Structure 1
Amino acid sequence: MAKSKTFSCSECGASFSKWSGRCEGCGAWNTISEDAPLASGPASKSLGARRGSAVPLTDLAVEETPPPRTVSGLGELDRVLGGGLVPASAILVGGDPGIGKSTLLLQAAAKFARSGLKTVYVSGEEASAQVRMRAQRLDLADAPVRLAAETNLRDILTTLEAERPQLAIIDSIQTMWADNVDSAPGSVSQVRAAAHELTNFAKRRGISVIMVGHVTKEGQIAGPRVVEHMVDTVLYFEGERGHQFRILRAVKNRFGPADEIGVFEMTGGGLSEVLNPSALFLSERGAPSAGSVVFAGIEGTRPVLVELQALVAPTPHSQPRRTVVGWDGGRLAMILAVLEARCGIPFAGLDVYLNVAGGMKISEPAADLAVAAALLSAREDVALPADTVVFGEISLSGALRPAPQTENRLKEAQKLGFTAAIAPAGGKAGSGSAVGGGLTLTRPADLTGFVGETFGAG
C-alpha cells in the first residue's frame, strides 16, 4: 500500500492531504508544498508486531543534580538563560531584522570561547569575511571562535561531528537547507527538518546549539510553531530601531524562569549590558508633565520602572484614533470603557495615544492603573507628582486588584528616590500608609475613589 502524502503551507503551517493552489487557512497562493519524510523507517503498522523494551521508571522524590552551567560573562544573557548555558540544550533566538541578533550572539560566542568553551559559529546569511569585519569592529577578532559560512545542513552536521565543539551557533535556521526535504530553504518543511536535526544532534552529542530565527510581521518566529516546542529555550530580542535599548526576553525556558528579561544598550562598539534598567529608562524624564506616569512593573524576577506617556486631544475625524506603542490595544479599549461606564468620564470625540517610553513592551495587567492615571492626567491636563509610582489591575466592575510582588515594586521605587506610590489594597507592602524608607503608600478602594482622590473628579 502506498504511503499517504502530506502537504503544508509555508505561510501559516496548515496541513492538507492533497495539493491545491490556494491555502484554505490563510488564503495565500502557491504556498503549499509536499512534506517529505525526514528519514526512512518501518511502517507504523509494524510497531505492534514487535515487543519493545521496558522503559525504566523513577519516583518523583528522587533528587536530581542541577545541570552544570557555563557562565558567559554577559550578566544579562546569563540571567535570561537562567544562570548560564546548559550543556546539550537547544536555544532559539528570534527578533526583527537588524535588531542586533547576530551582534549579540557574536559577542556571546567570543565570551564563551574566552571562558574555555570550544565554540563554532556557522553563518548562513553572511560570508566569513563579513563576520570577521563585525568581529573587528566589536574588538573580538582575537577570540578563539571557529567560523564557517554554510547552508547545507548535512555538511554542517558532519563538520560539527568532526570538530566536537561544546557550543554551536547557527545563524539562521531559515537559511538552512536539508537535502532530504523537497522544498526551498525557509519553507515550513525545511525549517522544521533543520530544527529537528539540530535539536537531536544537540541531545545526542551533548553540544549546546543556539539557532537564530527570523520573525514575521506579527512578531512570531517564522516557520511552524512546532519548532518552539522542540527546543528547550525560546528567546526574543526586542526593541525599536529608533531607541538604543534592546530587550532579551525569555518566553520559554526549561532550565530557568520564563518571562525573564535582559536589557542591553546598542552602542558604536556593540551591545553593552544595562545593570539598572529602571534608572536608564527614566534617565531622560524631565519635569512633571500632563500624561506622564511612572509604572512599577515586574519582568520575570526583576522589578522595572518605566514611563507611560499618554496624549488625549480632540479629533478632527468622525472616528477617534486609538494608537498604542508597547502595550495591548485591546486592554486600552477596556480601560477607556471602564472609565466611561464606572466613573462617568467619556473619551468620545477624543484621539488617544499611549506610548511606553524607551521601546519597552509591557504585558502584565498591573499596568492598568498606571495607564488610567496617564489617560486622566492627559485629559484633565494635570500632571502627577514626579516622585510618584502607580500600579494595579482594574476589573470591569471598576474594582482594583492587588498586583503580585508589591513589596519588590516598592523597594525598587524607593531605591530610585520615589517617595509616593499609589496601589490597590491587599498587596503585601507593610502596614499603614508609610512604608519603610519614607515612601508613602496610597491605597484607593476602587477606580472611582482613585479618580476622586488623585484628580478631584469621579
Structure 2
Amino acid sequence: MAKAKMAFVCNDCGADYTKWQGQCSECGVWNTLKEVRLGAPARSSGPSGYAGEVQSKVTLIGEVDLSELPRFSSGMAELDRVLGGGFVPGSVVLIGGHPGAGKSTVLLQTLCGLARSLSALYVTGEESLQQVAMRAQRLALPTDKMQMLSATDVETIIHEASRVAPKIMVVDSIQVMHHADVQSAAGGVTQVRESAAALTRFAKQSGTTLILVGHVTKDGSLAGPKVLEHIIDCSIMLEGSHDSRFRTLRGIKNRFGAVNELGVFAMTEQGLKEVLNPSAIFLQRSDEIASGSVVMVVWEGTRPLLVEIQALVDDSSLGNPRRVAVGLDQNRLSMLLAVLHRHGGVMVGDQDVFVNVVGGVKIVETSADLALLLALVSSFRNRPLPRDLVVFGEVGLAGEIRPVPSGQERIREAAKHGFKRAIVPYGNAPREPVKGMEVVAVKKLSEALDAI
C-alpha cells in the first residue's frame, strides 16, 4: 500500500507547507500549523446514478449557457436575500455563529417548511432525535414529512442520503463528523477538512443542496481549517448578543450572489421571525434629545440601512486616554480623531472616547466617517444634533469629504423614514430636489462642522 502524503496547513490563513514549522510565513501567526493527510484522487466519482457524472470537455466561453440558475426559495425572504435569491441545487452553504445564536433553530424552521413540498433530510450529530423533535414541537413546526438522521460517520451519512435522495440536507455540525479513513479525533483540522470534502463531493455529484453548521472561536471566526471556506460555495454568519432579541445574518462569501448582504431576524417563542424593515428597529431612539447621537445611512448588500451611532467624550483620569469602539474599527477611530484635530480644530487627545453603533450592527464600510466625527463633536461640545438629521460620507486624511456608492438611494431611504435634513458629500448631492428634505452638500470637514 502506498504511503499517504502529509501536509501542514495553517489553521488561520490556509497556507500549506511540506514540513512543520513554528510560525506561518504567510500570516505570521505562531503554532497554527496542523498535520493534514492528503488522500489520493479517487478513480470513480462515487456510486452510479449521481446527477453530477458528466464527461469533462473543453468549451468556448461564448458557448456557455448563461440561463438563470434553478433556485428554490427557503421560505424566508431575509434568508433568500443573504443567499442571493434562494438555494442553488448542488451548492454547499456553511452557516456559523456563537452557541445559542439560533443556527439550529432557523435551519429546522427552514427544513420543516421545505419538507412539505420536497425531500429534506436533517442530520444531527450533537443532539439526539428526541431533542430535535422537542424543539420542533415547541416551535409548532410541521413535522409530518420531515426526515431525521442521527449519525456522525460521514460514510453512513452519504449512504443514507444516497438511499433517500434528499433535495436539501443539513449537517449539524461539521465539527463532530469523522471520516473512517482519517486517523485523528473529531473536530481536528484533518477530520473537518476530509469530512467537509467528502460531503461536498456527494452534494456536487447528486445535486443535493448541502448546509453545514460550523462552530466559531473566541474571536468570532469559524473554527477548523481556513481552507474550509474555499471548499464551500456560500458562507454566512448568524450574529447577535444574548441580551438582544435581534439576530443578523451576514453573507461573507457567495458564489451565486452579492457579498456582505444582511438579513435581520427577531428571536421569538415561535423561533426566528424575519424583520422586513430593519431600519425601524435600529431607530428606536429616546424622546429626549441627547448630545453625541446622530443617524447615519449605511449600505448593506443591496439595500440602505438607517442606524444610530452614539459617541461619548469625557475627561480622562488616565495618562493614556481610552479609545473604545463597538461596531466600528478602532484603528479607523484613531485615524479620524487625528483628522478632526488637524482639519477640524477639535482637540480630544486628553479625553476618553467611546463609540457605539446601536443595535449590535457591525459597520464595515467608510460611509460612517462623517457621522462619527459629528457625533464626537456633539458630545464634546455637549450640543445635541437635530432628531431629523441624517449624515453619511467618507472622510479623507486631508479633511476632504469623499462620495460613497449609492448616495441617491441612501437619501431617498432617509426621506422615506421622515428625516428632513441631510449632510452628504458634494459628489452625492442629488441632481433634483428631494421632496421634504433639505440636502446640505459639503466638500470639507470644516464645512460639515459649520453646517451643524
- TM more than 0.5: yes
Structure-2 separation of matches of 1:10 and 1:393: 35
Q: Compute the RMSD of aligned alpha carbons.
A: 2.1
* Shift in alpha-carbon separation, 1:415–1:161, aligned structure 2, 3 A: same
- Paired with 2:430 and 2:144, the residues of 1 have a C-alpha distance of 48
Question: Which secondary structure state, in structure 2, belongs to the residue aligned with residue 111 of structure 1?
Answer: helix
Superposed displacement of residue 154, structure 1: 1.0
Matches within 5 A, 1:19-418: 26-28=29-31, 34-39=35-40, 55-60=57-62, 62-114=64-116, 116-418=117-419
What letter matches 1:182 in structure 2?
A: Q
- TM-score, normalised to structure 2, is 0.91
Shift of 1:430: 2.5
CA distance in 2, matches of 1:119, 1:171: 14
List per-residue Cα deviations over 1:191-227 (Å, max 9, x = no partner).
Answer: 1111111111111001000001111222221122221
1:295–1:370 CA contact under 8 A, matched in 2 = yes
SS of equivalent to 1:271: strand
Contact 1:287 1:386 in 2 (8 A): no
CA contact (8 A) 2:118 2:167 kept: yes
Q: Distance in 2 between matches of 1:430 and 1:95?
A: 43
Structure 1 residues 427 and 70 mapped into 2: Cα distance closer, same or farther (>3 Å)?
same
Aligned to 2:448: 450
Aligned residue number for residue 46 of structure 1:
none
Report deviation, 1:273: 0.8
When residues 5 and 273 of structure 1 are mapped into structure 2, their CA distance, relative to the original with a 3 A threshold, is closer
CA–CA distance in structure 1, aligned partners of residues 84 and 282 of structure 2: 24
- What letter matches 2:272 in structure 1? L
SS of 1:426's partner is: helix
- How far 1:8 sits from its partner (Å)? 4.2
The 2-side partners of 1:422 and 1:247 are apart by: 28
Q: Secondary structure at the match of 1:359?
A: coil
> Does the Cα contact within 8 Å between 1:70 and 1:84 map onto a contact in 2?
yes
Note closer, same or farther for the CA distance 1:79–1:314 as it changes in structure 2 (3 Å cut). same
- Alignment check: 8 A CA contact 1:37 1:181 kept: no
- Secondary structure of 1:341's counterpart equals helix
Task: Give 1:26 deviation, angstroms.
Answer: 4.0
Distance 1:154 1:427, change over 3 A: same
Provide the rounded CA distance (Å) in 2 between the counterparts of 1:381 and 1:320.
19
8 A contact 1:96–1:215 mirrored in 2: yes
Tell me by how many angstroms 1:437 deviates: 2.1
Shift in alpha-carbon separation, 1:319–1:106, aligned structure 2, 3 A? same
In structure 2, do the counterparts of structure 1 residues 10 and 297 end up closer, same or farther at CA, with 3 Å as the change threshold?
A: closer
Length-normalised TM-score, structure 1: 0.90
Q: Is the 8 A contact 2:14 2:227 kept in 1?
A: no
Distance 1:165 1:395 in 2: 53
Question: For 2:95 and 2:139, how far apart are their aligned partners in 1?
Answer: 20
Q: For residues 390 and 305 of structure 2, what CA distance do their matches in structure 1 show?
A: 11
**Distance (Å, rounded) in 2 between the aligned partners of 1:417 and 1:178:** 57
Question: Within 2, Cα distance between the matches of 1:291 and 1:143?
Answer: 54
Show CA shifts across 1:76-134 (max 9, x none).
Answer: 111111111111111111111211111111111112213x1211011111111111111
1:358-390 CA-to-partner distances (Å, cap 9, x unmatched) read 111111101100111111111111111001100
1:41 CA drift (Å): 5.8
User: What CA distance in whole angstroms lies between the structure 2 residues aligned with 1:184 and 1:32?
Assistant: 16
CA contact (8 A) 2:177 2:192 kept: yes
Kindly indicate whether the alpha-carbon contact (under 8 Å) linking 2:5 and 2:37 is maintained by their aligned counterparts in 1.
no
Displacement of 1:185 after TM fit?
Answer: 1.2
Out of 436, 439, 448, the position equivalent to 2:437 is 439
Give the gaps of 5 or more residues in structure 2. 44-54
- Structure 1: which amino acid aligns with 2:302? T
Partner of 2:49: none
Give, in whole Å, the separation in 1 of the partners of 2:354 and 2:192. Answer: 39
Q: 1-side partners of 2:337 and 2:306: how far apart? A: 23
Q: Is the 8 A contact 1:314 1:349 kept in 2?
A: yes
Aligned residues: 437
CA distance change for structure 1 residues 200 and 19 in 2, over 3 Å: closer, same or farther?
same
Determine the C-alpha separation between the residues in 2 that align with 1:351 and 1:169: 47
Unpaired runs of 5+ residues, structure 1, are: 43-52
Structure-2 change in CA distance of 1:364 and 1:285 (3 Å)? farther
C-alpha displacement at 1:19, in angstroms? 5.5
Q: In 2, distance between residues paired with 1:155 and 1:101?
A: 24
Displacement of 1:18 after TM fit?
4.3
2:445 maps to a residue whose letter is L
For 2:234 and 2:275, locate their aligned partners in 1 and report how far apart those are by CA, in whole Å: 22
> For residue 296 of structure 1, what is the amino acid of its counterpart?
V
> 1:120, 1:145 within 8 Å by CA — same for their partners in 2?
yes
SS state at 1:423 partner: strand
CA distance in 2, matches of 1:280, 1:54: 51
> What percent identity do the matched residue pairs reach?
44
SS in 1 for 2:369: helix
Deviation at 1:448, TM superposition (A): 1.3
The 1:87/1:14 distance shift into structure 2, 3 A limit, reads closer
Task: Specify the code of the residue in structure 2 equivalent to 1:186.
Answer: G
Q: Answer with 135-144 or 93-102: which moved more.
A: 135-144
- Aligned residue type for 2:73: V
* 1:143 to 1:281, Cα distance in 2 relative to 1, 3 A: farther
- In the alignment, the residues of structure 2 paired with residue 164 and residue 148 of structure 1 have an alpha-carbon distance, to the nearest angstrom, of 13
**How many Å separate the matches in 2 of 1:288 and 1:393?**
26
Aligned residue for 1:443, secondary structure, equals: strand
* Cα gap change, 1:10 to 1:63, in 2 (>3 Å): closer
SS of 1:414's equivalent in the other structure is helix
| Per-residue deviation, 1:315 | 1.1
